[in-house]
Amino acid sequence: GQNIDQPTEMTATEGAIVQINCTYQTSGFNGLFWYQQHAGEAPTFLSYNVLDGLEEKGRFSSFLSRSKGYSYLLLKELQMKDSASYLCAPTTDSWGKFQFGAGTQVVVTP
């Protein structure tokens, strides 16, 4: 089976930085996705890491360490609209099938 661990909830103020950690154990790993999901909406893609290191995309960055089974999503200059659930999803086989973590609910306060 697969095991994905990420915090349930994090709270931060507007303009701050929040780091969401994700650890995983999967039987076949090719890469790791991060998705954002606002309440009542579908998930939307944020990032995909295949190699170790940091990928930066504007205010969002994602880091991967394959040897440690660890990733984080960094949200900078938080805005109220960033209040959402953030889902970590490592791939679990060579086909690219992946499994979503339970999600981290980020609450941004004024």
Partner 1 sequence: DAGVIQSPRHEVTEMGQEVTLRCKPISGHDYLFWYRQTMMRGLELLIYFNNNVPIDDSGMPEDRFSAKMPNASFSTLKIQPSEPRDSAVYFCASSFGTSYEQYFGPGTRLTVT
Tell me which residues touch partner 1 (CB under 8 A): 30-31, 33, 41-45, 48, 50, 87, 91, 93, 95-103
- By beta-carbon proximity to partner 1, the closer residue of 94 and 110 is 94
Q: Shortest gap between Cβ of 96 and partner 1 (angstroms)?
A: 2
- By beta-carbon proximity to partner 1, the closer residue of 45 and 109 is 45
Q: Is 94 exposed, middle or buried (0-12, 13-18, 19+ CB in 10 A)?
A: exposed
Q: Shortest gap between Cβ of 92 and partner 1 (angstroms)?
A: 9
- Concatenated DSSP letters for 62-84? EEEETTTTEEEEEE-S--GGG-E
Residues in the chain: 110
What is the rounded distance in angstroms from the CA atom of residue 85 to the CA atom of residue 81?
11
- By beta-carbon proximity to partner 1, the closer residue of 9 and 41 is 41
